[in-house]
Structure 1
Amino acid sequence: MEVDELELVINGEKIRIPADESTVTGLLQHFNLHQKVVIVELNDEILAKESLSETLLSNGDKVEIVHFVGGG
């Protein structure tokens, strides 16, 4: 059986995303976030930016995304 959605906990909220966006980079693209301005924590571990496109997500993963906004 093929899974068509992943259920993740993102910033404390349960969210479903399409399974074809199962990498961290895919998740960021889903939310229109650019990886240059975010820090991603997966299951309590901060991910290196170089690993985002290779890091696969699984059902139940806990993801924290912190993004920076310019201003003054």
Structure 2
Amino acid sequence: MSLTLTLNGQARSFDALGVDASLADLVVELGLKGDRIALERNGEIVSRQRWGETVLADGDKLELVHFVGGGSVEATAV
């Protein structure tokens, strides 16, 4: 069973993520470095320390922001 999430406004299915998948699992699945991104789940910013304990649910709305060199911030199309 795949997990369907809205990531930066775009619906995506993740076949590799199961029922108990966490935000940390999503970061790994996307191949991103956790120290350079910020995540918001259903309108609430989730601290990096809570990614492993924050279980995703089908239909969650996520916003992912990627920090780039020089202190710039950009929304990541992943």
SS in 2 for 1:33: coil
Unaligned runs of 5+ in 2: 71-78
1:50 matched to 2:39: no
Q: Write out per-residue CA displacement over residues 26-68 of structure 1, whole angstroms, 9 at most, x where no aligned residue.
A: 1111111111111000000000110001100001000000011
- Are the aligned partners of 2:17 and 2:25 in contact in 1 as well (CA < 8 Å)? no
User: Which runs of at least 4 in structure 1 moved beyond 3 Å after TM superposition?
Assistant: none
- Paired letter, 2:7: I
1:6 matched to 2:6: no
Aligned length: 69
Distance 2:35 2:63 in 1: 15
Report which stretch shifted further, 12-21 or 28-37: 12-21
Report which stretch shifted further, 30-39 or 20-29: 20-29
TM normalised by structure 1 equals: 0.86
Q: Provide the alpha-carbon RMSD of the alignment.
A: 1.7
Distance 1:53 1:29 in 2: 11
Distance 2:21 2:13 in 1: 11
